[in-house]
Structure 1
């Protein structure tokens, strides 16, 4: 196969993912990114024919690691996506010869303690209710950032006792739906946010985006990632002023807020792992079990306090 055919084949493949396989926009975007970068690399290297695809992919992996400094986990994802695409074209690739061992796979996830979350929240101006609400909603629900951006106003409903609130989540993975919950305090903050943006007589339907940009459009994933990083940098500057070490710029992201939510449920509140699995939308309980290893220091401390 010639390289110039690949772009056309990619467009056909993306259409199939969307209209036949009904995959989520984020999943389709990921496939497009992986395959698109590979096509760009082929053009850069002036490769016109895929006569020895396995060798080409080996050189591509070296390029990603050596020149682009990609993590092994990221490279494995790219290669898997590329292999699935070529399999669609009836070109088989033996990924066992390409997928490297991810040394970070079993490392415990990074997370923040509740005091550190408070430190971040303290950097947000009091009049910026939206940004505070976004960060607290991520922390108090464990939603993926794409799931947060997909929320509409009518996706949050009160339960019978009005102490917790039900969220109908369209999952970022697979386009499925699940139910999760929100505390009353964060729900009230959401209501304040909505009131602030509509109090000047601006009408808004019940299926309007819950979190909006300054232009009153649905906020993007990139915008949320940027605002979270902004407050991480501000918090680190405040730590420097107080003679403390910096830590948030490398630690804080929407996904570490999801990790922090999970650790808080499992290790600080001792909630059953199968319950946490459902709240997070993990298809496998093995994914959730990674978090249960994080609290080993706490277990050690508790064991030391046992009376024999």
Structure 2
């Protein structure tokens, strides 16, 4: 009899080997399915064949009402997505006769638009990395690249030196290993050139040889966590009273391109979105900005109070 844990391990091997998902994505699946396994153990389920539709239906309620750190709707939806993937796989592999999660629907999420910051705020962040210190030179190159390319932070820290092609474009590897080529722009090119000449050799000499583009002060590849800390430090120095994360640069990249007149399908390609529907979320952001501007500027856009 296959146990729940064995079924989970088999599924995670499948998404790693057959689907080529990144280690970060597989780790997220594992965390989600550990929650599911714990829920089933409490219900006394020993194998996948013991699991019922009622078990699946009770799971989101348990996640959202647990005493310690209850999950919000978005987190519950993510965990349920992992559960549905597991049970679909088990049916396809013939380990169960029925997909008990097939009819499960995630909680409805509130509509949330991506958070972008203004061009002036981006410029303030970038200016906050000015300086001749090697770490500042690196930080400038990292932030310029994030804004110039819309790269995810994982894509940025995974770059190797050879992925910067002739200084004009960068080769990014997105979800599922999908490759895309994105232009750098003159500001990012200059910042990268300065980093490669003035800072990276110094960091590289402190550690083992590595092809990584962005290095930490000890010579190892810069981690996602350290990249996040670089951005937080820049936001503090810029005295921005807003939350700024690596994804802020990606959202701002897309929003500013669309505001500048870029075609949505071009932005889709630059962001590495598999569906244009994902990219079209950003058109709602620019539409809101246009609506606000219209309301303020057009003489007959606002209701006037009779005198």
Output the TM-score relative to the length of structure 2: 0.80
How big is each residue's C-alpha offset from its partner over 1:14-43, in whole Å with a ceiling of 9 and x where there is no partner? Answer: 222222333333332232222123224555
Query: Is 1:85 aligned to 2:93, yes or no?
Result: no
Q: Determine the structure 2 residue equivalent to 1:254.
A: 246
Instruction: Count residues in correspondence.
Output: 284
Picking from 37, 40, 53, the partner of 1:39 is 37
Query: Is 1:75 aligned to 2:76, yes or no?
Result: yes
Contact 1:198 1:204 in 2 (8 A): no
Alpha-carbon shift at residue 167 of structure 1 (Å): 1.2
Cα gap change, 1:75 to 1:234, in 2 (>3 Å) = farther
What are structure 1's unaligned runs of at least 5 residues?
A: 240-245
Query: Is 1:283 aligned to 2:281, yes or no?
Result: no
Cα gap change, 1:212 to 1:260, in 2 (>3 Å) = same
Output the TM-score relative to the length of structure 1: 0.80
How big is each residue's C-alpha offset from its partner over 1:223-257, in whole Å with a ceiling of 9 and x where there is no partner? Answer: 2223323444554xx46xxxxxx3x2xx3111121
Alpha-carbon shift at residue 9 of structure 1 (Å): 2.6
Cα gap change, 1:306 to 1:289, in 2 (>3 Å) = farther
Contact 1:142 1:258 in 2 (8 A): yes
Alpha-carbon shift at residue 97 of structure 1 (Å): 3.3
Q: Determine the structure 2 residue equivalent to 1:226.
A: 229
| Cα distance in 2 between the residues matched to 1:47 and 1:148 | 44
Contact 1:14 1:32 in 2 (8 A): yes
| Cα distance in 2 between the residues matched to 1:233 and 1:55 | 49
Cα gap change, 1:115 to 1:200, in 2 (>3 Å) = closer
Structure possessing the higher relative contact order (Cα contacts under 8 Å, 6 or more residues apart): 1
Query: Is 1:190 aligned to 2:182, yes or no?
Result: no
What CA RMSD, in Å, does the superposition of the two structures yield over aligned residues?
A: 3.0
Q: Determine the structure 1 residue equivalent to 2:119.
A: 114
Picking from 139, 144, 147, the partner of 1:139 is 147
Query: Is 1:130 aligned to 2:128, yes or no?
Result: no
Cα gap change, 1:205 to 1:152, in 2 (>3 Å) = farther
Contact 2:144 2:191 in 1 (8 A): no
What are structure 2's unaligned runs of at least 5 residues?
A: 301-307
Picking from 260, 264, 268, the partner of 1:273 is 264
Cα gap change, 1:136 to 1:27, in 2 (>3 Å) = same
Contact 1:153 1:207 in 2 (8 A): no
